[in-house]
Amino acid sequence: MKILFYDARDYDRDSFDAQLKNYPNIKIDYIEADLSPVTASLARGYDAVCAFVNSDASAMALEILRGFDVKLVLMRSAGFDAVNVPVAKDLGMTVLRVPAYSPEAIAEQAIGLGLCAARRIHKGYARVRENDFSLQGLLGVNLHGKTAGIVGTGKIGAAMVRICNGFGMKVLGYDVYQNPSLEGMVEYVELDELLRRSDLISLHCPLFDSNRHMINADAIDKMKDGVVFINTARGGLVDTKALIEGIRSGKIGAAGLDVYEEEGDNVFRNCSNTIIESVTSTLCSFPNVVMTSHQAFFTKEALASIAKTTLDNATAFANGEELTGPAVVC
């Protein structure tokens, strides 16, 4: 099987090449360009393409790929909102993903962002570097004894529930499907109640059209004053302008963000010599906001798991095995 790997970074090559020795029947060619209708034609002669969260596997891109007899789209991520799934189905294409590469990696980043923002650790570090040892403006809050609200209790949300339990927090959960493995660790409530009761709110759900901007002005208005808000899921879950107003008003006391609506053009790229005027730059200006660039997945363990699962998916497809389970999108 020949796979064209889009949007390849050095760490992608390293993690996949380390696994390839165990898959002698798979050949990968890496390119820096991301998948889009413009670059889809580069997959001529390949059996499959490998894409990531910000790829553009839209209807046009998929139709071009199918025209070159590409039958398989391998998403090296849990999310697959970059793929027009109904069109892929109509074209007879298979879309496979990595449903759970390292839930703990995401959850650990989430709590780290929340702690950093709530305790102003980033501001304290910057001060000490300048020999400023004052504490004014760095007053934080304890998490112990507070209430955490976890929106989405799949594998990543479940890992976050366990961490919050370890911090001595009461944990509320909201999900369409309750996770039986969390019995005794979480109290399931409706979203409005979670928003109203939680001192810390962390998002761990996928993005669909139905829940885009689920955190909007109305939702933020229901939250406690001074709530700690964390998003390591998808930027589109949050109305960024409403978030900014919530921070300005003091309704949101601290925010830790690994994803945001405008990340598409900039994510994983060095734009340090570019002037970017956006709501993202406004968020960065707040002293109680900590932002990273879709970094939560980025651990050695997670990259190794992503590579292995992606190559296992490709092998199963090539061998004509019956494809079932959460890795199968369509």
How do residues 213-253 score in pLDDT, each as one tens digit? Answer: 999 999 999 999 999 999 999 999 999 999 999 999 999 99
For residue 264, what pLDDT is reported? 65
For residue 268, what pLDDT is reported? 66
Q: What is the pTM (predicted TM-score) of this model?
A: 0.88
- The residue among 265 and 191 whose pLDDT is bigger is 191
pLDDT band of residue 276 (cuts 50, 70, 90) is: low
How far is Cα 115 from Cα 143, in angstroms, rounded to an integer? 8
**Is a pLDDT exceeding 80 seen at residue 270?**
no
For residue 301, what pLDDT is reported? 95
Pick the CATH number of 2-101+299-318 from 3.60.20.10, 3.90.1150.220, 3.40.50.720, 3.40.50.2000: 3.40.50.720
Mean of pLDDT values over 51-71: 96
Domain map (residue ranges) of the chain: 2-101+299-318, 103-291
pLDDT band of residue 127 (cuts 50, 70, 90) is: very high
How far is Cα 81 from Cα 330, in angstroms, rounded to an integer? 13
Burial of 269 (0-12, 13-18, 19+ CB in 10 A): exposed
How far is Cα 296 from Cα 108, in angstroms, rounded to an integer? 8
Tell me the fold of 103-291. Rossmann fold (3.40.50)
For residue 274, what pLDDT is reported? 74
pLDDT band of residue 255 (cuts 50, 70, 90) is: very high
Strand partners, 256: 230, 290
Mean of pLDDT values over 274-280: 72
Backbone φ/ψ region at 197: left (φ over 0), alpha (ψ -120 to 50), beta: alpha
Active site residues: 234, 263, 294
For residue 54, what pLDDT is reported? 85
pLDDT band of residue 261 (cuts 50, 70, 90) is: confident
Domains 2-101+299-318 and 103-291 fall in the same CATH topology: yes
